[in-house]
């Protein structure tokens, strides 16, 4: 059973399009995150949600809008895609403050 699952795994789209990435966790965790991994493999937090509420938004352009319909899901919608949005996006979840985060397999977004 996959603990944190993201769809799609690959996403190729043209500049200016709008796209969504879905994430689901079956671990019963209260907190979910979106991270961006750039071409140099650097991981940067984008958003953090706790029990469906946004608690952290790390200077991400407002073209990126997360949505959490329930605490097991955290989707990422991106409007007006730009070339610089090309990256791997990882969803993750965690429970306790001392607990590790568990990551999905990633979504490789390529904007052409």
Partner 1 sequence: AQSVAQPEDQVNVAEGNPLTVKCTYSVSGNPYLFWYVQYPNRGLQFLLKYITGDNLVKGSYGFEAEFNKSQTSFHLKKPSALVSDSALYFCAVRDRARSGNTPLVFGKGTRLSVIA
What residue ranges bind partner 1 (CB under 8 A)? 4, 30-31, 33, 35, 40-43, 45, 48, 50, 55-56, 90, 92, 94-106, 108
- Least distance to partner 1, CB of residue 13, Å: 19
Instruction: Establish whether the linkage from the previous residue to 73 is cis, with ω within 30° of 0.
Output: no
If the CB atoms of residues 48 and 75 are measured against partner 1, the closer one turns out to be 48
If the CB atoms of residues 33 and 68 are measured against partner 1, the closer one turns out to be 33
If the CB atoms of residues 14 and 45 are measured against partner 1, the closer one turns out to be 45
- Least distance to partner 1, CB of residue 100, Å: 4
Q: Which residues of 25-60 are buried (b: 16+ CB within 10 A; e: fewer)?
A: beeebebbbbbbeeeeeeeeebbbbbeeeeeeeeeb
111 is written with which tokens? 């904007």
59 is written with which tokens? 């200077």
């Amino acid at each position: 059973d996959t603990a944190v699952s993201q769809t799609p795994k690959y996403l190729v789209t043209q500049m200016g399009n709008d796209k969504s990435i879905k994430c689901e966790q079956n671990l019963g965790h209260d907190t979910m995150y979106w991270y961006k991994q750039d071409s140099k493999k650097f991981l940067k937090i984008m958003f953090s949600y706790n029990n469906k509420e946004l608690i952290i938004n790390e200077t991400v352009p407002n073209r990126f809008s997360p949505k959490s319909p329930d605490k097991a899901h955290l989707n990422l919608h991106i409007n007006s895609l730009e070339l610089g949005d090309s990256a791997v996006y990882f969803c993750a979840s965690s429970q306790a403050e001392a607990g590790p985060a568990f990551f999905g397999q990633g979504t490789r977004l390529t904007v052409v």
